[in-house]
C-alpha cells in the first residue's frame, strides 16, 4: 500500500475538524495532521494560514506549503516559509463571488446615498436626496486579477463606468484597462470610487497615500479589501478631514484586529469590517488543495504556485 500524504494543518481548531472530515471523504490518501499530534519528520505538505516564524522550518521533509487563502503576503515575510519551498495559493471562484457581493454592498451604500436615506428615515422625511445615473459613477479597481476581474465585471453589470488597473496590460469587455505607473496617474482623476484588490507587495505598500488620493476627484470614496498595508492610515485620516475623501469602507487594516484605541473606530466616515469580505470555502477549494498536495509530493508543479520575485 502507498504511504499516505501527511498534510500539516495550521489554523483554527474548528477548521481542523471541518477540513479533516472533508479530506477523509474526498481523499483517503491524505491524512490531515495537527502540529501537536505528529512527528515533524513525517509531514509532507503544510496547509496554513498565518503560521508563526520558524514553525515551517522545523519540518525537515516538507515539500511545499499551501496557503489557506488567496493573499500570500503573510507567507513571504522573513522566516515564515523556507526559501527552497514552493508556495501554492488558493484561487477559489467562490472567493471572487463573495468579494463581488461585499464590494457591491459598499458601492451601493455610496451610489444609492444609503446613509442620507437612513438619516431621512429617522426623521420620517420623504424626499429624493440626489440622483446620479449609474453611468456617471466611475469606479476604479486597483488589481484586476482573479478577484478584481470578477468584481470589475459585476460592477459593470450595474451600469457603472468601470476602470481597472494592473501591472501588465489587460483587456476585458466593458472595462477600460490601465497598467503601470502612468496608467495609474491617468486613471485616478476619473474615479469617484476607488477599490483596492491588490496583493500586498513592496510595490503596492501604501499605494493609497496622500499623493494618489490627491489625484482623485474631490469627495471620492475608497473601498479597501486588499490588505491594510495598501492604505497609509494617517494620510487617509488627513484626506477625509480635508474633505478630499468622503468615505472609506475598510475590511483590512495595518494591525488586525484593529486596536480598540484606533481613531478609525469612532470616525463617522470610516466603515469597518473585521476582514470578512471573502472567506475560504471548504467545498469550493478542497479539490485544488488535494491536487496541490498530490503534485507537491510527486515533485510536480502545482497550479497557482506563487512567484516569490513578484511577491504574489
Q: Is 205 a catalytic residue?
A: no
51 lines the binding site for ligand NAP (CB under 6 A) = no
CA–CA separation, 154 vs 133, rounded Å?
A: 17
Phi, psi of 250 (to 5 degrees): -125, 130
Rounded to the nearest 10°, the torsion over CA 7, 8, 10, 13 is 80
Per-residue binding string, ligand NAP, 150-189, x by CB under 6 A, is ---------------xxxx---------------------
| 248 phi, psi to nearest 5 deg | -130, 125
- Three-state DSSP class for residue 162: strand
Q: Which residue, 9 or 312, has its beta carbon nearer to ligand NAP?
A: 312
C-alpha cell at 61: 521533509
Binding residue (CB under 6 A) for ligand GLV from 51, 71, 86, 229: 71
C-alpha cell at 67: 496557503
229 near ligand NAP, judged by CB under 6 A? no
Site string for ligand NAP, 84-103 (x = CB under 6 A): -------x---x--------
Instruction: Please name which of 241, 202, 206 lies closest in space to residue 224, comparing C-alpha atoms.
Output: 206
Residue appearing with cell numbers 503576503: 73
Residue 70 makes contact with ligand NAP by CB under 6 A? yes
Task: State the catalytic residue, choosing from 89, 109, 227, 230.
Answer: 227
CA distances from 23 to 5, 234, 282, 283 (A): 11, 45, 10, 11
Q: DSSP readout, 26-57?
A: H-TTEEEEEGGGS-GGG--EEEESSPPTTTGG
When the beta carbons of 255 and 299 are compared against ligand NAP, the nearer one is 255
Which listed residue (64, 69, 86, 140) binds ligand GLV by CB under 6 A? Answer: 69
Contact segment (CB under 6 A) with ligand GLV among 67-75, 149-157, 169-177, 282-290 equals: 67-75
Instruction: Please identify, among the stretches 65-73, 133-141, 167-175, 287-295, the one whose residues bind ligand GLV according to the rule CB under 6 A.
Output: 65-73
Selected from 70, 96, 192, 201, the binder of ligand GLV by CB under 6 A is: 70
Amino acid at each position: 500500500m502507498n504511504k499516505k500524504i501527511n498534510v500539516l494543518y495550521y489554523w483554527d481548531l474548528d477548521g481542523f475538524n471541518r477540513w479533516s472530515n472533508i479530506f477523509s471523504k474526498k481523499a483517503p490518501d491524505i491524512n490531515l495532521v495537527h502540529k501537536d499530534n505528529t512527528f515533524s519528520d513525517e509531514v509532507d505538505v503544510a496547509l496554513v494560514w498565518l503560521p508563526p516564524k520558524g514553525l515551517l522550518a522545523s519540518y525537515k521533509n516538507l515539500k511545499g506549503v499551501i496557503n489557506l487563502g488567496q493573499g500570500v503576503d503573510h507567507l513571504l515575510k522573513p522566516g515564515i516559509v523556507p526559501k527552497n519551498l514552493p508556495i501554492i495559493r488558493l484561487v477559489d471562484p467562490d472567493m471572487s463571488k463573495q468579494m463581488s457581493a461585499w464590494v457591491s454592498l459598499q458601492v451601493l451604500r455610496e451610489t444609492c446615498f444609503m446613509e442620507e436615506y437612513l438619516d431621512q428615515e429617522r426623521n420620517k422625511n420623504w424626499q429624493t436626496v440626489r440622483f446620479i445615473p449609474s453611468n456617471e459613477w466611475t469606479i476604479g479597481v486597483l488589481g484586476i486579477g482573479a478577484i478584481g476581474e470578477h468584481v470589475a465585471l459585476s460592477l459593470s453589470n450595474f451600469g457603472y463606468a468601470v476602470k481597472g488597473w494592473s501591472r501588465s496590460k489587460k483587456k476585458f469587455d466593458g472595462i477600460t484597462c490601465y497598467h503601470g505607473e502612468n496608467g495609474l496617474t491617468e486613471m485616478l482623476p476619473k474615479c469617484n470610487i476607488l477599490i483596492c484588490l491588490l496583493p500586498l507587495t513592496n510595490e503596492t505598500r501604501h499605494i493609497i497615500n496622500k499623493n494618489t488620493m490627491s489625484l482623485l476627484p474631490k469627495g471620492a470614496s475608497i473601498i479597501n479589501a486588499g490588505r491594510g498595508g495598501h492604505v497609509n492610515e494617517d494620510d487617509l485620516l488627513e484626506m477625509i478631514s480635508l474633505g478630499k475623501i468622503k468615505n472609506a469602507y475598510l475590511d483590512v487594516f495595518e494591525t488586525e484586529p484593529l486596536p480598540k484605541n484606533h481613531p478609525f473606530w469612532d470616525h463617522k466616515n470610516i466603515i469597518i469590517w473585521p476582514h470578512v469580505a471573502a472567506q475560504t470555502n471548504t467545498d469550493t477549494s478542497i479539490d485544488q488543495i488535494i491536487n496541490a498536495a498530490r503534485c507537491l509530493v510527486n515533485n510536480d508543479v502545482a497550479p497557482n504556485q506563487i512567484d516569490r520575485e513578484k511577491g504574489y
